[in-house]
A and B are shown apart, each in its own frame.
Chain A
């Protein structure tokens, strides 16, 4: 923790977190106009007519959406837009009523979550799932794919998997060093702070060399000092050739690191585009503020919700 802490002047207003180096944006991802469901030059994930209802409520109803390869894509939308539900559907943690979707050209419909992960599409969770009573190192080793020693009978013969285990351990230590968790490797994961758990979860996901990393609110509950290093890590994923899809509420972060933004509202994809342009899209403003936001209903500061202020902030930024 202390390694990441920056002295904060309590009098100065908190600057929005910015990555330490200027992110290199990937452009030219789409074909044709940037409209909902537009085709991508090289999609890694293609979703068609995926629908999920809970009783009478349609949580997700996505007609068509493509996630570009080798880029950072943000999935945004107001609370209840169905972002996490879509995440669960795409990763096999929930089953849609109907619809199909492909990852890397392979159909994922009906594929259980663990096989989705083995194909190289690894997710993290909104509520961090660090395995508290396992050490940080054990958490990391669990992430490695195709381990011989994970077979029940081969597990009894250590000579079959000892070398592999050492290789995994070296790789894990390397990742932990990058995430500044190497000094914690023998501690229980439960002893880490919330932000460190997020880092551990991300590092653990990288143990399997994924092609698509899906992060569900990677910044939620992380203090600003750690946010910067998290942002850098996400940018590094792209630099290493991975594709990233993440759900986020922090608009500043979305604008700074995302190459492409998909906006959901009420279960549907309502807008897509470059992060700077998409914020100007009337559909996005409607989704966050409601379609009657420009009618004067009198000053009521109490009605100014988190989203309203976030959007106002952004529009100010753009000017």
Chain B
């Protein structure tokens, strides 16, 4: 049993760009669900728009990095408006139904063969990384220490990804302690009361949907940079992983989604590394390697269930808030 490799691989996930992407997407969901009370089950759709918006802009239209970034953000603003205009006047559950369906529509549109020349259909897109790599100010070589040793590109990607996460976290923190955030939290409690105090609830909900959606979209771009853009990555399960991270860390918190994402990925990597090696070593004779891969998700699920049962406010949530929840 190579414990060093298991822990090393788990530690790598602590600052991997994927962890940053999930953290940022969960932060967007914290704005939606934790602070505003909007049940957005389509965060995967926002991420897909970011990833495809970025990749298509570069591959098909030859845009620079900042142009591709703006295309992705613009696409998600339009997506949020399309989702929000018909549903935000209705009860919260309608938004849940519409977002889950809309995210699937987005994914299937990217999967269909009709647009294969642009979207690459089920095979997805790759080869859009050179533009981002060209911006790298770091010289060639390796950076970091121990399990966190990376080449220049991967280090550059981590720096950018986590810088974005930190900036986004500061933005969310600042905006939620402002009068704007107060209105948003009031809407989560009772929109009619806020309406009776002269606040345009519909506009606030729309702003929140766009803000959280844009965070999800940027997360989609970060998610796409270390890998290829493949439509099957943006299934509903992605949204549920992000919800799991959010509840793990604490729904109406800023640090919760970030630390939650780190814990989620370190645990997932640890369990899958451990089980794969345990199967190899013959500790689990009833199991194949593929089954082992599934088992790691089961164990992560059980770990998250335990946290939600024994610490329902999440790691950073305020216990006092829950005392009044029926």
Contact = CB atoms under 8 A, between A and B. Distances in A.
Contact of B195 (A113, A143, A147, A150): A113
B207 A143 contact: no
B196 A141 contact: no
Contact of A141 (B182, B189, B190): B182
A123 B193 CA distance: 9
A123 B196 contact: yes
Nearest to A117: B198
Interface string A274-301: 0000000000000000000000000000
Contacts of B188: 133
Interface string B186-207: 1011101111111111000001
B324 to A, nearest CB: 4
Contact of B182 (A115, A138, A148, A205): A138
B178 A158 contact: yes
Given A115-B198, A141-B182, 17 more contacts: A93-B192, A113-B195, A117-B195, A117-B198, A125-B196, A131-B185, A138-B186, A141-B179, A142-B194, A149-B178, A150-B183, A151-B180, A152-B207, A155-B175, A188-B321, A205-B197, A208-B197
Interface in B185-233: 185-186, 188-190, 192-201, 207, 211
Contacts of A161: 178-179
Which of under 10, 10 to 19, 20 to 34, or 35 or more describes the interface residues of A?
Answer: 35 or more
Contact of A131 (B171, B180, B186, B321): B186
Nearest to B200: A114
Contacts of B175: 152, 155-156
Interface in A69-124: 91, 93, 112-115, 117-118, 122-124
A266 interface: no
A114 B179 contact: no
Given A152-B175, A156-B171, A91 B180 contact: no
Contacts of B194: 131, 142
B314 interface: no
Contacts of A131: 185-186, 189-190, 193-194
A96 to B, nearest CB: 18
Interface of B: 171, 174-175, 178-183, 185-186, 188-190, 192-201, 207, 211, 320-321, 324
A115 B197 CA distance: 9
Contacts, number: 104
A212 B183 CA distance: 23
Given A114-B198, A188-B324, A129 B180 contact: no
Contacts of A122: 196-198
A190 interface: yes
Main SS class of interface, B: helix
21 contacts: A93-B192, A112-B200, A115-B198, A117-B198, A125-B193, A129-B196, A131-B186, A133-B185, A133-B189, A133-B324, A142-B183, A142-B186, A149-B178, A155-B178, A156-B171, A156-B174, A156-B178, A161-B178, A190-B324, A205-B196, A208-B197
Nearest to B192: A129
Nearest to B176: A155
A131 B186 CA distance: 6
A2 to B, nearest CB: 22
Contact of B179 (A112, A113, A165): A165
A251 interface: no
Contacts of A118: 198
B230 to A, nearest CB: 34
A207 B186 CA distance: 16
A114 B324 contact: no
A16 interface: no
A200 to B, nearest CB: 11
B179 A149 contact: yes
Given A143-B197, A158-B178, A188-B320, A134 B192 contact: no
Contacts of B197: 114, 117, 122, 142-143, 204-205, 207-208
A177 interface: no
A129 B193 contact: yes
Contact of A150 (B189, B196, B199, B211): B199
B91 to A, nearest CB: 15
Nearest to B191: A129
B37 to A, nearest CB: 10
Q: Which 5 residue pairs across A and B have the least CB separation, nearest first?
A: A149-B179, A155-B180, A129-B193, A117-B198, A155-B178
A132 B179 contact: no
Nearest to B210: A152
Interface centre among B180, B320, B321 (most CB of A within 10 A): B180
A178 B197 CA distance: 20
Contact of B324 (A132, A138, A143): A132
Contacts of B321: 133, 188
Contacts of A133: 185, 188-189, 321, 324
Contacts of B201: 114
A115 B195 CA distance: 9
A113 B197 CA distance: 9
B211 A208 contact: no
Nearest to B189: A131
Contacts of B180: 149-152, 155
A134 B186 contact: yes
A188 B323 CA distance: 10
A207 B198 CA distance: 11
A252 interface: no
A130 to B, nearest CB: 8
A191 interface: yes
A40 interface: no
Interface centre among B174, B188, B197, B321 (most CB of A within 10 A): B197
Nearest to A129: B193
A307 interface: no
A177 B54 CA distance: 55
Contacts of A149: 178-180
